[in-house]
Amino acid sequence: MAKNVIITKTARKKLVQARAGAITLPKIVGMVFGSGGVDSSGNVIAPSENQTKLNHELFRKPIDGYSFTNDTTCRYECTLSESELAGEYISEIGLYDSAGDIVCIKTFTKKGKDGDIEMTYTLDDVF
């Protein structure tokens, strides 16, 4: 099975620069949603560390919050309201920082979003 979640090269570059004190690491502020995480047959496409955007971005939204599930994992959460992305099929999500850069991407089988339900997505940032 292909790896379906990655930390982008952009994120890793920022991390190494911040550890050296060359920059202040921008915080995670939002989640990005897209429909390009699967091919025409519905097979999940593994994301690439060199990606700077989703394959087919649909929407960006500030995160609802985060929690630390252990010493090396932060779980980010974002809820789509009933009307947000209604009728769309979501198959890729990512985290973006305050500079607008996507730092993490996850792909998965497409999930339909109905207009009468909220959907909450979680994404773990693991070190």
Digit-coded pLDDT (tens) for 102-122? 999 999 999 999 999 999 999
Which pLDDT score, from 0 to 100, does residue 88 have?
97
> Counting every residue, how long is the chain?
127
Closest CA to 103 of 127, 71, 68: 127
Q: What is the pLDDT of residues 66-90, one digit of tens each?
A: 999 999 999 999 999 999 999 999 9
* This prediction's pTM: 0.94
Supply 13's token pair. 């570059």
Q: How many whole angstroms separate alpha carbon 76 and alpha carbon 30?
A: 9
Give the model's confidence band at 126: pLDDT under 50 very low, under 70 low, under 90 confident, else very high.
Answer: confident
According to DSSP, the residues that pair with 66 across neighbouring strands are: 76
pLDDT at residue 1 greater than cutoff 50: no
